[in-house]
């Protein structure tokens, strides 16, 4: 699966669409518009809290997230265990999400495995909304950077621990300063 990015964890899909608009000055936040295709039928309240988590993470990078029903440039797809894409993703051990793209261009869709989110939340005793929001924010990061872009620290790590989800719950699992700058550059250039 060259050019694809898995997010590893322990053991549904969501689609997110992204539309980007820019502000007139650097002091203002940029705007990122996303769409979720909820094939996994994640409960509305859970999805709303996860979306709030995503918005909070991106606000730390100076980006306002707006969720649209349709028409966004980037799409997040919530997958069920039975979906064809989920079957392909099973080849990636412990993947919770996947943001396909090429070596030179990020993709436009990220896939989230709902059943993997459920299993990880149970294993770490974490709230599903925190795990789901964190994974979505991570996969959007791959859509904004390039597939396979990872970091040794912060939100773009490839493997997370119980401690990371405690940090996420407290709003402390974020992008690095360099990643924040790259996000702003990528969104501003679209």
Per-residue pLDDT tens listing for the chain (190 residues): 334 444 443 334 444 444 444 443 445 889 999 999 999 999 999 999 999 999 999 999 999 999 998 888 788 998 877 777 767 666 566 788 888 877 777 788 999 999 899 999 999 999 999 999 999 999 999 888 865 577 888 899 888 888 998 999 999 999 999 889 888 888 876 5
Tell me, yes or no, whether 26 lies in a domain: yes
CATH of the domain at 110: 3.40.390
CA distance 109 to 153: 24
Query: Judging by DSSP bridges, how do beta strands 74-79 and 30-38 pair with one another?
Result: parallel
Tell me, yes or no, whether 38 lies in a domain: yes
Q: What percent of the chain is helix, strand and coil (3-state, nearest 5)? A: 40, 20, 40
CA distance 141 to 155: 9
Tell me, yes or no, whether 187 lies in a domain: no
CA distance 45 to 129: 9
Q: How many domains does the chain have?
A: 1
* Planar angle of CA 62, 74, 176, nearest 5 degrees: 35
Residue listed under structure tokens 């896939």:
111
CA distance 56 to 8: 23
Q: Label residue 10 exposed, middle or buried (CB < 10 Å: 0-12, 13-18, 19+).
A: middle
Tell me, yes or no, whether 190 lies in a domain: no
Tell me what pLDDT residue 146 has.
60
Tell me, yes or no, whether 95 lies in a domain: yes
Q: Give the tokens for residue 69.
A: 């029903």
Tell me, yes or no, whether 186 lies in a domain: no
pTM: predicted TM-score of the whole model, two decimal places: 0.82
Closest CA to 111 of 100, 101, 122: 100
Tell me, yes or no, whether 164 lies in a domain: yes
Q: Give the tokens for residue 85.
A: 């894409």
Closest CA to 4 of 154, 106, 131: 106
Tell me, yes or no, whether 119 lies in a domain: yes
Backbone angles phi, psi at 49, to 5 degrees: -65, -40
Domain that holds residue 46: 6-179
């Amino acid at each position: 699966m060259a050019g694809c990015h898995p997010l590893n964890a322990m053991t549904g899909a969501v689609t997110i669409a992204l539309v980007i608009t820019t502000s007139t000055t650097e002091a203002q936040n940029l705007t990122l518009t996303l769409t979720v295709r909820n094939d996994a039928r994640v409960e509305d309240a859970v999805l709303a809290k996860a979306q709030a988590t995503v918005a909070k993470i991106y606000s730390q990078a100076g980006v306002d997230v707006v969720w649209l029903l349709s028409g966004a440039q980037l799409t997040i797809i919530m997958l069920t265990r039975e979906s064809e894409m989920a079957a392909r993703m099973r080849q990636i051990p412990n993947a919770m999400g996947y943001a396909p793209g090429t070596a030179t261009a990020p993709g436009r869709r990220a896939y989230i495995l709902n059943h993997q989110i459920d299993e990880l939340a149970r294993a770490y005793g974490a709230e599903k909304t925190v795990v789901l929001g964190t994974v979505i924010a991570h996969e959007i990061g791959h859509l904004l950077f390039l597939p396979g872009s990872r970091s040794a620290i912060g939100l773009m790590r490839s493997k997370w621990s119980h401690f990371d989800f405690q940090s996420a719950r407290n709003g402390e699992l974020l992008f690095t300063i360099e990643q924040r700058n790259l996000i702003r550059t990528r969104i501003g250039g679209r």
